[in-house]
Amino acid sequence: MRHQRGMALIIGLMLVAMATLVAVTLTFNLKLDQRRAQSLLTTQQSRQLALAAESWAAEILRDDLNNSSTDHLGEEWAMQLPPVPAEGFLVQGLLEDMQGRFNLNNLVGPDGKVVPEQLAQFQRLLVALQIDPRLAGIMGDWIDPDTQSGFPDGAEDDYYTGSDIPYRTPNTYITALTELQAVQGVDDEVFRKLMPYVSTLPQGTQINANTAPPPVLQSLSETMDIFQAESLAAEAAEEGFPDLQAFQTIVEEDALQTLTLSSDYFRLTVRVTIGTYSLTMYSLLFRDPAGQVRPLLRTFGSI
C-alpha cells in the first residue's frame, strides 16, 4: 500500500514537472517571439532614424553650396554635432569630406595604366605615415586590369592564389575601403593607419586642399616637409584658402592640377542608439554642381 502511494506520488510529481516544463517552454517561446518582434522593430526604427539623419545631412550640404563656393573645416557641415537625445533614442552624426583624402582609384587612369605621378604621390603618403611604400605598386596591381605584376613592387594572382585561402585580384576600381584588408602587406596596423587618409571615389577626383590633413598635403610634393604641411593645414582650417596661391610656390604644376578648394563627395557616419541596441550607417554622399545630394553607397553595421 505504502509502495503504491509512493509510486502515485512520483507519477504525480512527474506530471507536475512535465506540465511545468510545457508551460515554461510556452512562455519562453512567447518571450522569444516578443523579443524577435521587438528587435525587428528596433532595427527598423534605427534604420529610419539613420535615413532621416541622411536627409538632414543632405540639406546641410545643399545649403552650404548656396552660401559658399569653397569647402573647408570651419563650415557648418564639418562640425561634429553633439548627440541628439530624443524619446528613447540617441542620434550622432558626422560629415567628412572624402576629397581631403588620397583617392586610391586615381592610381589607375581611364586607359587602365598605373599613373606614375599618382603612384609617386601615394608612395610619399605611405612614407609620411610610416608604412612600407611598396604598398603603392601593390595597390596599383590590385586595381589595374592586367595580371602582370608591377616592377619592382607588385602583386597579382600568382601571389594571392598562393595564400591559405586563395583568391584573385579584382583588377578593377575599389568601392569600399574594407577591401584593402585583402591586399598584400595590409595588416590591421597598416589598415588603421591608412584608413583616415585614403578614399575610394570614382577615378579622376581632385584633392581639396582646404580639408586635406597634413600627411596628404605633404604627399603633394617631394620637397614639402611635415611642418610646411601642418602650417598649410592650420591656415586652411581657419576659413579656407580662397585660391591656390599659397600652394603655387610649394607644389609643382602637375600636382597643382590635382588640387581643388571645394568638394563633391562627403561621407556621413550616423550612429543610432535605442536602449542597448546601436546601429552605425556610413553613407557616401555626392553633391552635384546644382546642389542636389544623393547617396552613392550605404553600409550598415550594428552592435
For Ca ion, the binding residues (CB under 5 A) are: 64, 68, 71, 75, 141, 144, 169, 171
Residue nearest to Ca ion (CB): 68
- What whole-number distance in Å separates Cα of residue 154 and Cα of residue 104? 15
- What whole-number distance in Å separates Cα of residue 67 and Cα of residue 251? 29
Q: Which is nearer to Ca ion, 54 or 75 (CB)?
A: 75
CB of 232 to Ca ion, least distance (A): 19
CB of 145 to Ca ion, least distance (A): 6
Q: Which is nearer to Ca ion, 54 or 144 (CB)?
A: 144
Q: Which is nearer to Ca ion, 154 or 215 (CB)?
A: 154
- Phi-psi bin for 62: left (phi > 0), alpha (psi -120 to 50), beta? alpha
What is the Cα 156 distance to its own chain's centre?
25
Burial 222-246 (b: 16+ CB within 10 A, else e): eebeeeebeebbeebeeebbeeeee
CB of 77 to Ca ion, least distance (A): 7
- What whole-number distance in Å separates Cα of residue 168 and Cα of residue 182? 10
Q: Which is nearer to Ca ion, 95 or 131 (CB)?
A: 95
Query: Is the alpha carbon torsion for 72, 221, 253, 248 positive or negative?
Result: positive
Q: Which is nearer to Ca ion, 68 or 203 (CB)?
A: 68
Copy the grid coordinates of residue 88.
528613447
Copy the grid coordinates of residue 211.
580639408
Q: Which is nearer to Ca ion, 279 or 293 (CB)?
A: 293
Q: Which is nearer to Ca ion, 45 or 171 (CB)?
A: 171
Contact (Cβ atoms closer than 8 angstroms) between residue 269 and residue 58: no
Q: Say how many Å lie between the first and final Cα of the chain, rounded.
A: 62
CB of 65 to Ca ion, least distance (A): 7
Nearest alpha-carbon partner for 240 in 211, 206, 205: 211
CB of 272 to Ca ion, least distance (A): 27
Q: Which is nearer to Ca ion, 68 or 280 (CB)?
A: 68
CB of 154 to Ca ion, least distance (A): 8
Strand order in the sheet with 293-302: 84-86, 89-97, 265-274, 277-287, 293-302
CB of 210 to Ca ion, least distance (A): 9
CB of 91 to Ca ion, least distance (A): 23
Secondary structure (3-state) at 86? strand
- What whole-number distance in Å separates Cα of residue 256 and Cα of residue 224? 13
Copy the grid coordinates of residue 131.
608604412
